[in-house]
Structure 1
Amino acid sequence: MRTLNVSVCLMAALLLCGCNPLMTATLTNLKGAVSGPDELDVTPAQVAAIRYPQLKLTTPSGEGVLAMVRQRDDLQYWVASGKQVLLLRDGLAVRSVGLGLEGDLDGTRVADTSPFKQGLHRVPDGYSSQRWIDLYHGYETGVALNSRFVRQPMETIRILDKEYAVLRVDEQIDAPAIGLHATNHYWVDPDNGFILQSEQQLTKRLRVKIVRLTSEREVVR
């Protein structure tokens, strides 16, 4: 789980630096102070000016916009102009680089029956699952993470200038070996399972909020 084509991501990050003021702001905000991120205002025009799909990422130390520069099968590579990298698989964050002050998520292995592959809109209330994570901090590998999914009522969320009626699915996660206990939240398109927004606990100290600024499933090669 430690293999990552860093050269491709770094090259894309360098290209993104000169895209527009939005990507420059990304670099500044994701290097924010430990006390917390400055809020990053994003406009539809700024998003439209970049040809890559984009998401807004909030971490304990910064907030910025990442662009999807590559996709291999169901694995998506998202990068910021400051060379931070986030890998998503079916909306689940499976690896991070440069985001965790106390260490990033080094990798994630999911079962073939992963509810994220099925689509969270199809997951019954109370469904249980398991995945395995690797951590940079402590060099811990293959840590079992148990999860239980709870369906919540429909909600309306606003992203940029649009409102979306979404299903909220909560995931209660538990990794006893490392003392990790948290609840993740996913706001899901009830028709196709596309995760428009989520809050995910990647490690004990790293929690992120992910907002998809572009909803299309565009592939960049």
Structure 2
Amino acid sequence: MKTLRNSSCLAVGLLLCGCNPLMQASLDTFKAATLGVQPLQVTAAQVEAVPYAQIKVTTDVSEGVLAKLRQQDDLEFWVASGKQVLLMRDGLVVRTVGLSINLDGTRFDGESPFKRGLQQLPDGYSSTRWIDVYQGPRVGLAVNSRFSRQGIETVTILDKDYALQRIDERVDIPELGFKATNRFWIRPDDGLILQSEQHLTPGLFLKIVQLRPDRETAR
């Protein structure tokens, strides 16, 4: 926890030092969460002006841009100017900090299918992971999932079209009686997730778009 806190403070400091209109707009949009989602207009020029890989994240009540300011092995730290932090592994959000509802931990039973690469999974592949949600608190909730391949779809990111394979993940948290479908749009050649819709808990849904896919490579 101490390492995460120190890393987050450093990352936020770096981001604010180089704050441009895009990052300020992102901060203002997150602050306006109580007013509902305020569309954040992002241009390629604004994204290029920030020397970090970036993602646009939309929740049910807010929208903002986060920059990848640190990576420890396969764990990525994505930080917003308002001190919100997403920790991601291979395109899956495994922990959040600073949101109204947070995911406090994720661990897999065996190999993570995201580590393996979604493009490598056979249709109908199943997996189990456990999550922690301290608001409750609920620790060690089993999340059963089943993956299915969909067709190739065109996804537009910053006015550029990408032909991406869509992979759906049907998730079930029996203890909470919660079921949902996560969606991942991946590059067919290497499995890099360029866009996703992730139901992390019953109260936490994120849509994530890679704004600088040229800076990212699949693991």
Query: TM-score over 0.5 for the alignment?
Result: yes
Aligned to 1:132: 130
Tell me which stretches of 4 or more aligned residues in structure 1 moved more than 6 Å: none
- State the structure with bigger RCO (CA 8 A, min sep 6), 1 or 2: 1
> Which runs of no fewer than 5 residues in structure 2 stay unpaired?
none
State the SS of the aligned residue for 1:40: coil
Partner of residue 175, structure 2: 177
Following superposition, the deviation at residue 115 of structure 1 comes to 1.1
Counterpart for residue 205 of structure 2: 207
- Is the 1:31–1:61 Cα contact (8 Å) retained in structure 2? no
Indicate the residue corresponding to 1:70 in structure 2: 70
Q: Deviations over 1:144-184 (max 9, x none)?
A: 10000011010010000211100000000001112221100
1:59 aligns with 2:59: yes
Q: Which residue of 2 aligns with 1:90?
A: 90
What SS is found at the alignment partner of 1:173? strand
Contact 1:55 1:211 in 2 (8 A): yes
Percentage of pairs with the same residue: 55
Distance 1:4 1:172 in 2: 33
Mapped to 1, the partners of 2:77 and 2:22 lie a distance apart of 19
Does structure 2 conserve the Cα–Cα contact (< 8 Å) formed by 1:109 and 1:133?
yes
Instruction: Give 1:143-158 correspondences, 5 Å limit.
Output: 143-158=141-156
Q: Which amino acid aligns with 1:48?
A: E
How many angstroms does 1:35 deviate by?
4.8
What's the counterpart of residue 10 of structure 2? 11
Partner amino acid for 1:73?
A: D
After TM superposition, the structure 1 stretch with the greater mean CA deviation from structure 2, 6-15 or 196-205, is 6-15
43-52 or 10-19, which deviates more: 10-19
1:11 shift after superposition: 2.2
Structure number having the greater helix percentage: 2
AA aligned to 1:140 is R
CA contact (8 A) 2:11 2:70 kept: no
Structure 1: runs of 5+ lacking an equivalent: none
Contact 1:132 1:143 in 2 (8 A): yes
* Secondary structure of 1:30 counterpart: helix
CA positional deviation for 1:32 = 2.2
Letter in 1 for 2:51: R
Deviation at 1:199, TM superposition (A): 0.2
Q: Which amino acid aligns with 2:10?
A: M
Task: Report if aligned partners of 2:164, 2:187 keep a CA contact under 8 Å in 1.
Answer: yes
1:94/1:105 contact within 8 Å kept: yes
Q: Secondary structure at the match of 2:115?
A: helix
How many equivalent residue pairs? 215
Distance 1:205 1:8 in 2: 26
One-letter code of the match for 1:170?
D
- Do structure 1's residue 24 and structure 2's residue 24 form an aligned pair? yes
RMSD over aligned Cα atoms: 1.4
CA offset digits 1:11-70 (Å, max 9, x no partner): 221332242011111111112233521000101111111111100000112100000010
2:190 match: secondary structure: coil
SS at match of 2:142: strand
> Which amino acid in the other structure matches residue 140 of structure 2?
G
User: What's the offset of the Cα at 1:3?
Assistant: 6.7
Write the letter of the residue equivalent to 2:135: H
